[in-house]
Amino acid sequence: MYNSKITGLGYYVPENVVTNNDLKNFMDTSDEWIQERTGIKERRWIDPKTEDTTAIMGAKAAKIAIERSGLTKDDIDFIVFATLSPDMYFPGGGVQVQDILEMPTIGALDVRNQCSGFIYAMSVADQFIKTGMYKNILVIGSENHSGGLEKSTRGRGVTVIFGDGAGAAVLSRTEEKGKGILSSHLHSEGKHAKELVLEGPSTKRWVPEILEANNADDVSYFPYMNGQFVFKHAVTRFSEAIVEGLQANNLQKEDIDMLIPHQANLRIAQFIQKKFGLSNDQVFNNIMKYGNTTAASVIIALTEAWEKGKIKDNDLVVLAAFGSGFTWGSVVIKW
């Protein structure tokens, strides 16, 4: 059986910076209120005047990752695209990237696991490579939140948190033992699905009903989050996923060189850091600059950490995420 290793990383975020003070123009909030609760100072939102979409941002990040891998687009065998905000209800973003990058007629798979989407996507790609089916797989996480947020005081509890952006990794086959992805661990608990949800549009509230109702007060088309409930479960499941990954590889928390947590809330990341006794040099956070970019958050943070030289050869890197569904998981990597 083969191993899979990351050979290229890239990310892209829109140029349009939206600070906490900018949000005061259309909702009752403050920089102090947002930073105290989330740690976020600013986020990137797509400027509608630009070409950026979920798929286009994903393609931009992918170009960088492919170039850094030393491969060409024609060397990629498969695409796994993670997002909760595809450009269209269907088809998904994977086939759009295949077209944008003018790639061969390779397969493209979409993963809809929200904040844990990139963890799930990496696990899927890893299995394809381990079994020998594919040699090089492009894994993308991309989100356009800003187009679907309720930009008002009513929606501020969710809107202040989310940003737009994309990241990509090239996962490649290696026969080197003990390097690359050591293991991945995935979980879900659907009974809590409605604590972090966007109910419409859906087959429960489909096109005829939407057109007939045309109700401006119908909030089902905006994201809903029970923040305290999500926070409580997130810190528990984050910890469990990290411990599970370490135990599966006979490792201890002291062996972690870099933890890349999903950038949901800086307070969650700080809680996990303290619980595991990790230093600031062992945990990378960038939610302060980008907000929560959902399926893109882990890969953007991983790429930035690598670019800054915080991840080196033979480092033990742990990726962990928790989000809507509830779904959560971890990936353990020997760099």
Catalytic residues: 115, 262, 292
Expressed in percent and rounded to 5, the helix, strand and coil fractions of the chain are 40, 25, 35
CB 222 within 8 A of CB 151: no
Angle ∠(161,167,172) on CA atoms, nearest 5: 145
**Residues 275, 276, 277, 282: is their CA dihedral positive or negative?**
negative
Residue 69 and residue 201: Cα distance in Å, rounded? 38
Residue 275 and residue 143: Cα distance in Å, rounded? 30
Residue 158 and residue 288: Cα distance in Å, rounded? 16
Residues 6+ away with beta carbon under 8 Å from 123: 184, 186, 329, 331
DSSP tag of 29: -
CB 76 within 8 A of CB 304: no
CB 157 within 8 A of CB 4: no
Residue 79: how many other CB atoms lie within 10 Å = 27
